[in-house]
Amino acid sequence: MSFARKVWHLLVAIKDGLSLVFLLLFFGLLYMVLTARPNPSQVRDGALLLDLDGVVVEEKSVIDPISVLLSREAPVGEYQVRDLVRAINAAATDDRIKAVVLDLSRFTGGGQVHMQSIGEALDKVRAAKKPVLTYAVGYGDDAMMLAAHASEVWIDPMGGAMIAGPGGTHLYYGDLLKKLDVNAHVYKVGTYKSAVEPYFRNDMSPAARENYQSLYGALWEEWQANVKKARPQLKMDLVTKTPAEWVAQSNGDLAKAAQAGGLVDKLGSRVDFGERVAQIVGEDKWDDTPGSFAHTDLDPWLADHKPSTSGKTIGVVTIAGDIVDGDAGPGTAGGDRIADLLNDALNDNLSALVVRVDSPGGSVMASEEIRRAILRLKAQGIPVAVSMANVAASGGYWVSTPGDRIFAEPETVTGSIGIFAVIPTFENLAKRLGVGADGVRTTELSGQPDVIGGLSPAVNQILQGSIEDGYRRFLTRVAESRHMTTEQVDKIGQGRVWDGGTARQIGLVDQYGGIEDAIDWAAAKAKLKQGDWHVTYLGDDTNPYQSLVEKMMLGGKRSPSGSEDLFGLIAARQQVALGQANADLNRLLGTRGMQAYCLECPMDPRAQSQAKREGGVLAFVANLLLQ
C-alpha cells in the first residue's frame, strides 16, 4: 500500500505540474496575442518600407501550424494586393513619408494584373514628388515590372536580372501511366480543354499549342508595353531577343549587364542602398546597424490608415485560388465557405456586391453553389459587379456569370468554358500484380465505377453524357449572362482561354478596369454619392492568432530557402515545376467530381512552397519507377 500511495502522489504531482505548465503557456500565448498586433504608434517619419519576402496574392491563406511543423519549411510570405495598394496610396499623401522603398530580394511574384495595380500606386507616389527606390539581388519578370515604376533601381553587384517572358513547358504523363498500368479515363467537352491532355498524351496537342501561343503572345505584348512605358530606358530588344550576346558584352557580369541593358540604375550592396535611402529620409535613430534608415513597416502603417466604415455598405466577396468543395480557405475558394459568407450577408443590408475573382476554377458543384449564393443576394435588387484579377477562367468564369457588369484588365486570363473529369482505374496493374476482380452483378451498374476491375461500357457512356450535360449548362449560364445564344458561346467556348483584351472584344468582359472601378460602378448603380459608402470584405475578420502563429513559426521573419541571386531564381522555377507535377497527380488520384479548371492559366505563385510540403506523391512515383 505504501508503494501504491507513493506512485499515486507522484502521478498527482505530475498532473499538477503539467497543469501549471499549461496555464503558464496559456497566459504566455494570451500575452503574445495581445502584443503581436500592429501598433499605429510604430509609425515614424521616414520611408515606407515594403519588404516583400514572398508573393503578392488576392487573399492571404491561413497558416496551418501543424502542416508547417510536418513540412519543416516556413511558408512563403503572402501580401494582399489591396493592402499594398492602400498602403502606397496613403504614403503618397502623408507628409510623414518621404519615400517608398521596396526590398525585392526575396520576392517571388504575384501575376501581371497585381503588379500593374501596385505599379500604378507607385506612380502616384512619384507624381507627389516622392522618390521610389527598389533593391534586390536578383530581378525576375514580376519584380522587374514593379521596379520599372521606381525612380531608382538598385542591384547587388553579385546579383543579376533577367526577363524570361510568359510560357514554358507542361508535364505529360501518357507513357508513364502506361508503364504503371494505370488507365486514365478522360471525359471532356471542348477542343481546347487541355487540362486532361497530360493524362493521355506525351506532348501538347495542336489545338492547345494554338491557344497557348495566342494567350501568351498577348500577355507578353502587354507586359512589354507596360514596362517600356514605365521605364523607357530599358533596352527591351537587347535584353529579350539576344540575351546571350547582351550578357557576353559585360563579360558575364550579370549585374553590369543589367545596368547596361537599362534594367537597373545603380550597383551597390544592401548597406550602400540603405545609406542612399538615409540621405533622402534620414537615419534611423533607434538602429545603428550599417545601412539602416528611418522607416515604417507595412503592418503598423496599415493599422494607422484603416479604411472608412461610415455610410452604406458595399460588400466584396473574394473567390481566390482553386475552387473546391467544402469549407477550404481563405486562399482556396471553398464553395461551402464562400456560399455561407454570401448567405450571412443576406441580412446585412448591402447596397451593392462586388465579386472579386482570381481563380483558375475547379469543382463544378462548388462553382454552382457560389453562383447560386450570389444570385440570392442579387434577388434583393442590389447591383452585382464582377472584378477579374490575374485569372478568372473555367470555374472562375462560371462564378462570374451572375454579374451585371464584368471588369477585367487586358492581362487577365479568362474564358476556358469547358468541363472535364478524370477517373483512373488499375485493372491492368492489378492483373500484373496477381490480383483478380470477380463478383455477381444484378445490373450493368452494380459495383460501378470499379477502379480495380475496370469501368463498364455503360458507365463510360453515362459519365461522358454527364460531362456533356455539364457543358451545356455552362453554355446556358454564359449565354443568359452575356445575352448571347448558346451557339455563339460554344464558338468562343470549347475550353479556349482568352486574354482580357480579346475577351472584351468577343463579349465575355464588359470593360477594362480594376477592383476600384468595379466598386465605383456598383456604388453609382446603387445611387450612392462619393463619401456616402464604404467597402466591407466579406469574411475578412481579423484573426488575432495569425500574427502570433507567424511570430512563433517564423520568428517574425520568413526566409524562403535558396539563394537570392539569379541561380536562386532558377531554383525557384524548379520548385514550381515540382508543384505542377504534384498538382497534376493529385488531380488524377484525388477524390474529385466534374471539373471546370484551366490548365493553361498561370500557376499560383504559392506553388513553390506547396511543392516542398507536398512532395510525398512525387517520391511515391519515383519509388515505383526505381523498382
351 is catalytic: no
Radius of gyration of the CA atoms of the chain, in A: 27
Query: Which CATH architecture describes the domain 312-537?
Result: Alpha-Beta Complex (3.90)
Spell out the CATH class of 40-163+231-306+542-585+594-627: alpha beta
98 is catalytic: no
Q: Give the least confident one: 25-29, 226-230, 387-391, 511-515.
A: 25-29
Q: Using 50, 70 and 90 to split pLDDT, how confident is the model at 623? A: very low
% residues pLDDT > 70 (the chain): 80
The most confident of 205-209, 482-486, 600-604, 621-625, by mean pLDDT: 482-486
**What's the mean per-residue pLDDT of the chain?**
84
Task: Give the H/E segment covering residue 609.
Answer: helix 607-613
Tell me: pLDDT of 183 over 90.
Answer: no
- Distances from the Cα of 160 to the Cαs of 107, 265, 274, 566, in angstroms? 14, 12, 19, 6
CA 133 to CA 573: how far, in whole Å? 26
Ramachandran assignment for 391, one of left (phi > 0), alpha (psi -120 to 50 degrees), beta (any other): beta
Alpha helices in 153-235 (DSSP H): 174-179, 206-230
- Residues 376-414 as b/e (b if ≥16 CB within 10 A, e otherwise) read ebeeeebbbbbbbbbbbbbbbbbbbbbbbbbbbbbbbbb
Q: What mean pLDDT do residues 338-357 have?
A: 95
Global pTM reads 0.85
The most confident of 199-213, 252-266, 461-475, 539-553, by mean pLDDT: 252-266
354, 388 in Cβ contact below 8 A?
A: no
Compare 461 and 34 and report the one with higher pLDDT. Answer: 461
**Residue among 109, 11, 66, 80 at smallest CA distance from 515:** 80
Q: Which of 188, 193, 256, 612 is catalytic?
A: 193
81-117 per-position pLDDT tens digit: 999 999 999 999 999 999 999 999 999 899 999 999 9
Q: Which of 351, 359, 387, 394 is catalytic?
A: 394
Q: Regarding beta strands 152-161 and 266-267, do their DSSP bridges make them parallel or antiparallel, or are they unpaired? A: parallel
273, 291 in Cβ contact below 8 A?
A: yes
Q: Give the least confident one: 218-227, 307-316, 423-432, 524-533.
A: 423-432
Q: What mean pLDDT do residues 217-243 have?
A: 95
Q: What is the pLDDT of residue 3?
A: 61
Q: Do domains 40-163+231-306+542-585+594-627 and 312-537 have the same CATH topology?
A: yes
Q: Give the least confident one: 27-36, 69-78, 515-524.
A: 27-36
Cβ neighbours around 18 below 10 Å, total: 10
Q: Using 50, 70 and 90 to split pLDDT, how confident is the model at 190? A: confident
Domain residue spans of the chain? 1-36, 40-163+231-306+542-585+594-627, 312-537
Q: What mean pLDDT do residues 270-298 have?
A: 93
Tell me: pLDDT of 585 over 90.
Answer: no
Q: What is the pLDDT of residue 224?
A: 95
